[in-house]
Amino acid sequence: MKIISFYRTSSGRCPIEDHLNTLTDMETQKITWVLRLIRETDQISSKYFKKLVNTDDIWEARVRSGNNFFRLLGFFEDQERVVLTNSFQKKTQKTPRKEIKLAEKRKNILKGRRKMDDLDKYIEKRKKQSPRFARNYEKGYEQFKIGVLLKQARLEAGFTQEQVARKLQTGKSAISRIENHAEDIRLSTLANYAQALGKSLKLEVA
């Protein structure tokens, strides 16, 4: 499992936190879900996390919440630690060059020092500040994670939603709901979906 850290300025300000605090609870919830998915998943789809070409090894976390698109840039400090340097709402097709340059600049600054916050600290702080953000956060993340991983497994296995639906004797819309983390999906349904792909569903209870 990776470690996700946030860049902090020499004065202690955290640009990632500053940006997240301007967003709605639903937007921030989705962003932190994606970051947790990146942290906990060894092979993550480029839909959510990809290395940007022609950069100083800068990576991009990609999030969609409703009709809004957000990007968080950063780099691997080592094989296990991802440092996020800056975040923004994306309004153009390409990642703005100035944001990439900012990420590269902050990466260079951190070569000589390291004092940053991490994802868990921010999540816990936001939970205390906002009951709406905290409400069903963990359950929602697990549903989001399972939906993403099942879709990824389906694509890797070369199945369409229609093919999985036929195996489960259900409709395509039901498969779409599972993959888009609907809140009322039964555990047995998720297990059957995984079995249709030749996989098994393993859940850990903390």
**CATH code: domain of residue 184:** 1.10.260.40
Residues 97 and 176 in one domain: no
Number of domains in the chain: 2
58-86 pLDDT, tens digit each: 999 999 999 999 999 999 998 889 999 99
Residues 125 and 155 in one domain: no
Domain of 145? 138-196
Q: Are 150 and 193 in contact (CB under 8 A)?
A: yes
Is 162 part of a structural domain of the chain?
A: yes
Instruction: State the pTM of this model.
Output: 0.73
- Residues 15 and 18: their CA atoms lie apart, in Å, by 5
Residue type (1 letter), 47: K
Residue with token string 């921030």: 28
Give Rg (Cα) of the chain: 18
- Assess whether pLDDT exceeds 90 at residue 36: yes
In this structure, what token pair is assigned to residue 151?
Answer: 């879709």
158: left (phi over 0), alpha (psi -120 to 50) or beta: left
115-124 pLDDT, tens digit each: 445 788 899 8
Is 47 part of a structural domain of the chain?
A: yes
Is 202 part of a structural domain of the chain?
A: no
Residues 26 and 84 in one domain: yes
pLDDT band for position 19 (cuts 50, 70, 90):
very high
The per-residue pLDDT for 68 is 96
Residues 94 and 68 in one domain: yes
Determine the average pLDDT of the residues in 105-117.
73
163-204 pLDDT, tens digit each: 989 988 989 988 988 888 766 677 788 888 888 888 877 655
Residue at a domain's end among 85, 108, 135: 135
In this structure, what token pair is assigned to residue 91?
Answer: 């309004």
Residues 19 and 121 in one domain: yes
Residues 126 and 144 in one domain: no
